[in-house]
Structure 1
Amino acid sequence: MNSAVWSRITAAGTHAARWPWWLQVGGLYLAARLVSACIFMAAALQQGVNPWFPAKPDYWNFINIWDARWYGEALRNGYPTELPTDDAGNVQENAWAFYPLFPLLGRSLTGLTGIAPAASLTVIAMLSGLAASLVVYCLFRLKATHRTAHWGALFFSTFPVAAVLQVPYAESLNLLLLAGALLLVVRRRYLGAIPVVLLMCLSRPTGVPFAAMAGVLFLYHVYPHLVARFRARPAGDVQHGQPGHYGTPAGERHSPRELWSLAGLAAASGVGALLWPAIAWVLTGDLQAYTKTETVWRGHDLVPFKPWFDTGVQLFGPVLGLLAPFVFVAVFVLLMMSRPVAALGTELRLWCVCYVGYLLVFLHPQTSTFRMLLPLFPLALSAALVSRSRAYRGTVIIMFFLLQIVWVVWLWAWAQLPGGGDYPP
């Protein structure tokens, strides 16, 4: 019996392998979302008293909590022109912390179809996640074979926090735009990436690290040209000289036109990163409207790097806690230097470095940090490159789904803490 079942599974896998790549990747993404939906429904049956609905809610109510309520607020009522404050004048939680592209698309879909705002946001999140998985595969395919890129896309679809891709959060939309922008950058279509990046900057706060990546990438590629100019070498020596002698390898060298396009992308990314805070300033009259709102959830003003040391001390004590951020950075550097990560190429590795640098500077580490690691999705391809063993890759998928259960039950489901409130997902 077991042999017959295994034979059928093998035959089904062989048949599916002949499908078009987009059907393979999309089908597995939808299957992963179905598993995540089952995890959500099982957790909902255990959900007790909470701030939003009666105990044991249905699936649709259960996924429309936490930040989904804020996106729904932005969809229905827009953004306040006056920041709400308490009696002491402190800014209170409000919609300005949530970027506008996702609720704007939801409002458009609701206006066109008449469906409920929560349903509109859920549909957009699901379709964006599906599209993101296809773009991620195309990006990975530039660096690996079909099979490995396929496994990398499957890792992306089953990440421990991938369940968030089917709830009314902006993560799936942001990842679609981020993956599209990175795909264009790797293909050196820098000017074509500009509108994608500007939209990305209005979906979630990923504009700053992207601008940093584009800027550093420009300096990396312009270096051989500057060296040649100062050494009075002919331009031909720069473009066709020995690999690596003046910086970038010959295959990565850029023409002047490509350099100007990359510089334009870096500049546009910088503008895009400031766009939403500037809109908040214009509409509220408060220059710090966005940052004041964003830091409400922290409970204190933004001080670069300091929250990592505070959290380290809280978790590991006064000595080890101060060392913990340095250990984290050292481990990350070693990871970036490993062979599977090096196979990602300059652009994707640089994106990972800039994004982690951004988190170190601006992030207040907490339970939401797990969700904020999703933009490091290029590392999914590195994980697939570690080994071609089906046993290894299958074990990773199983581990990811088990960790999804942990994430949903621990963080998505509401369980009031002794001091009130609960850890956010």
Structure 2
Amino acid sequence: MADRVVTGALSGDPIGPAPTGGRVAVAIGAHRMVLRPAVAIAAIYIAARIITTVFLLVGAEIASRATGTAATIGSLSMRWDGQWYWVVGTAGYPSDLPLDAAGNVTQNAWAFMPLYPALSRALSVILGGQYPLAAIIVALVAGYLACLVLFHLLRAGIGDRAALWGVAFVAAGPLAALFQMGYAESLFLLWLFLALLVVVRRRFAWLYLLLPLLGFTRPGILAFALMLGAYGIVRWARRRVDPLPTIDIVHIVCAGALAVVLGFAWQMIAGWVTGDPQAYLETELSWRRGWTGDDEGGFVPFQGFVQASAIWFRIWGLPEWGGYVALAVLVAAFAAALLFDPRVRRLGIEIRLWSASYALYLLLVFFPQSSIFRLLLPLAPLAGALAVPRRTAWRVAVLAVCVLLQWCWIDQMLVQGTTFTQIP
């Protein structure tokens, strides 16, 4: 009887008489189908990490010669924000906000969410206190799992082969070094892709587990709340052709409300611990003052992109109004691609709504600087659109450009990056 239960469960058939040899073969074949994507993505991911490792080795050699100080893969991988996550993982958060001579809040650990450094710290205990090694391992493992989930997220719309190429574009892309740095990006991508996948598959109950993980890894949960709101509206508008059960409505509304609460939770925690309700916002604004000066006021939605557009064009010796025009053109082009490009439309409404919501979120809250490229990484599912053309030459060319841009990013941000204008 036990044998019949086990074999019946594996084959997916109702429990009953022992399956025939044909049914056993189906069960084995199903397991192979499960394993094939995992193995294929592992091969792509390992190859991509070898490329990144070679780039980091070359970059470390260049940096050592240029500065006269020994640089290593480890030192490059723990630069910039990796240092802040290290502080959080080993020393926690300050109860008193640091202030400059003018009384402005200066850069501090409250800008960084706790989940990634907590996981890294826990692993470092097993590794004898080696936090940098633990942080990189967490990023590496999360990056592989994120790529695996991305494959499943893309395959329904563009097919298995194109989905594999889309994953390759991300795994070896311009920002691929983040998969083996002490940053929270790969962990955030894992939670994000899982959350998008459960929305695509309409298994909304999983969101109650995934959203808190997403919300305490890095900023962006409010964009997901916006996406859920837009998704609910789309489902409601299509309810005659795509039935919208009451339970789905409840899940969408409740998950959206949870995402909004989580979006403000870290601000409330920072305010409670420090005694300053504006602790988090003032901490985030402290990173802007190197660009805007000490006369920076409070947070104003959309102001960051407007200010930065003018600043960058002034730095480049161009008229400031050109920055506003360029910003408007980029926003219009991105919106047009999401709405009308047939390759993007094949990715599915969930990915398109997420991309629009996240782009709007960045426009609302972010001040674009050198880290803008890293902040665009959550738009990675759009890479699937580049894989839709079936010509192998096209896909190989895209991959080659991705790898080339990866070296450019490593060189500019990690090897040559020495000032606040080169923060990755």
TM range (shorter): 0.7 to 0.9
- Give the alignment of 1:1-400 within 5 angstroms: 20-48=36-64, 55-222=69-236, 247-248=237-238, 252-299=242-289, 300=296, 301-314=298-311, 315=313, 316-336=318-338, 337-385=340-388, 387-400=389-402
Q: Give deviations 1:84-109, integer Å, cap 9, x for gaps.
A: 11232211111000110001111111
Q: What's the TM-score once normalised by structure 2's chain length?
A: 0.85
8 Å CA contact 1:208–1:358 kept in 2: the answer is yes
In the TM superposition, what is the alpha-carbon distance from 1:302 to its structure 2 partner?
2.7
Q: Which amino acid aligns with 2:62?
A: Q
In the alignment, the residues of structure 2 paired with residue 62 and residue 329 of structure 1 have an alpha-carbon distance, to the nearest angstrom, of: 33
In the alignment, the residues of structure 1 paired with residue 242 and residue 343 of structure 2 have an alpha-carbon distance, to the nearest angstrom, of: 19
Q: Give deviations 1:319-368, integer Å, cap 9, x for gaps.
A: 32222221111111111121011112211100000000011111101110
In the alignment, the residues of structure 2 paired with residue 166 and residue 126 of structure 1 have an alpha-carbon distance, to the nearest angstrom, of: 5
Residue equivalent to 1:5: none
Q: Which amino acid aligns with 1:24?
A: A
Equivalent residue of 2:113, what SS?
coil
Between 1:367-376 and 1:250-259, the stretch displaced more is 250-259
8 Å CA contact 2:369–2:421 kept in 1: the answer is no
In the TM superposition, what is the alpha-carbon distance from 1:311 to its structure 2 partner?
2.6
In the alignment, the residues of structure 2 paired with residue 348 and residue 91 of structure 1 have an alpha-carbon distance, to the nearest angstrom, of: 37
8 Å CA contact 1:190–1:261 kept in 2: the answer is yes
Task: Tell me how large the CA RMSD over aligned residues is.
Answer: 2.0
8 Å CA contact 1:81–1:283 kept in 2: the answer is yes
Instruction: Mark the runs of 5 or more structure 2 residues left unpaired by the alignment.
Output: 1-32, 290-295
In the alignment, the residues of structure 2 paired with residue 126 and residue 384 of structure 1 have an alpha-carbon distance, to the nearest angstrom, of: 24
Residue equivalent to 1:411: 413
8 Å CA contact 1:414–1:422 kept in 2: the answer is no
Residue equivalent to 1:7: none
Q: Give deviations 1:370-406, integer Å, cap 9, x for gaps.
A: 0110000110111111x10110000001000000111
In the alignment, the residues of structure 1 paired with residue 242 and residue 271 of structure 2 have an alpha-carbon distance, to the nearest angstrom, of: 41
8 Å CA contact 1:213–1:350 kept in 2: the answer is yes
In the alignment, the residues of structure 2 paired with residue 188 and residue 87 of structure 1 have an alpha-carbon distance, to the nearest angstrom, of: 53
Residue equivalent to 2:28: none
Q: Which amino acid aligns with 2:277?
A: L
In the TM superposition, what is the alpha-carbon distance from 1:421 to its structure 2 partner?
4.9
In the TM superposition, what is the alpha-carbon distance from 1:264 to its structure 2 partner?
1.2
8 Å CA contact 1:170–1:204 kept in 2: the answer is yes
8 Å CA contact 2:370–2:421 kept in 1: the answer is no
8 Å CA contact 2:105–2:283 kept in 1: the answer is yes
Q: Give deviations 1:207-262, integer Å, cap 9, x for gaps.
A: 1100111112122223xxxxxxxxxxxxxxxxxxxxxxxx3175533111111111
Instruction: Mark the runs of 5 or more structure 1 residues left unpaired by the alignment.
Output: 1-16, 223-246
Between 1:388-397 and 1:281-290, the stretch displaced more is 281-290
Equivalent residue of 2:183, what SS?
coil
Shift in alpha-carbon separation, 1:176–1:298, aligned structure 2, 3 A: same
In the alignment, the residues of structure 2 paired with residue 277 and residue 270 of structure 1 have an alpha-carbon distance, to the nearest angstrom, of: 12
In the alignment, the residues of structure 1 paired with residue 193 and residue 204 of structure 2 have an alpha-carbon distance, to the nearest angstrom, of: 14
In the TM superposition, what is the alpha-carbon distance from 1:49 to its structure 2 partner?
8.6
Q: Which amino acid aligns with 2:344?
A: V
Between 1:280-289 and 1:311-320, the stretch displaced more is 311-320
8 Å CA contact 2:417–2:423 kept in 1: the answer is no
In the alignment, the residues of structure 2 paired with residue 105 and residue 313 of structure 1 have an alpha-carbon distance, to the nearest angstrom, of: 40
Q: Percent of aligned pairs with the same residue?
A: 34
In the alignment, the residues of structure 1 paired with residue 279 and residue 34 of structure 2 have an alpha-carbon distance, to the nearest angstrom, of: 53
8 Å CA contact 1:136–1:153 kept in 2: the answer is yes
In the alignment, the residues of structure 2 paired with residue 144 and residue 292 of structure 1 have an alpha-carbon distance, to the nearest angstrom, of: 43
Residue equivalent to 1:424: 423
Shift in alpha-carbon separation, 1:19–1:274, aligned structure 2, 3 A: closer
In the alignment, the residues of structure 2 paired with residue 146 and residue 42 of structure 1 have an alpha-carbon distance, to the nearest angstrom, of: 34
Shift in alpha-carbon separation, 1:90–1:263, aligned structure 2, 3 A: same
In the TM superposition, what is the alpha-carbon distance from 1:19 to its structure 2 partner?
7.6
Q: Give deviations 1:29-76, integer Å, cap 9, x for gaps.
A: 1110110111111111111599xx962412112211111010000011
In the alignment, the residues of structure 1 paired with residue 397 and residue 386 of structure 2 have an alpha-carbon distance, to the nearest angstrom, of: 12
In the TM superposition, what is the alpha-carbon distance from 1:144 to its structure 2 partner?
2.5
Between 1:407-416 and 1:18-27, the stretch displaced more is 18-27
8 Å CA contact 1:191–1:264 kept in 2: the answer is no
Equivalent residue of 1:352, what SS?
helix
In the alignment, the residues of structure 1 paired with residue 323 and residue 45 of structure 2 have an alpha-carbon distance, to the nearest angstrom, of: 39
8 Å CA contact 1:72–1:117 kept in 2: the answer is yes
Shift in alpha-carbon separation, 1:286–1:149, aligned structure 2, 3 A: same
Equivalent residue of 2:69, what SS?
coil
8 Å CA contact 1:71–1:98 kept in 2: the answer is yes
In the alignment, the residues of structure 2 paired with residue 298 and residue 49 of structure 1 have an alpha-carbon distance, to the nearest angstrom, of: 32
Q: Which amino acid aligns with 2:403?
A: F
In the TM superposition, what is the alpha-carbon distance from 1:111 to its structure 2 partner?
2.3
Q: What's the TM-score once normalised by structure 1's chain length?
A: 0.85
In the alignment, the residues of structure 1 paired with residue 380 and residue 81 of structure 2 have an alpha-carbon distance, to the nearest angstrom, of: 22
Shift in alpha-carbon separation, 1:253–1:346, aligned structure 2, 3 A: farther
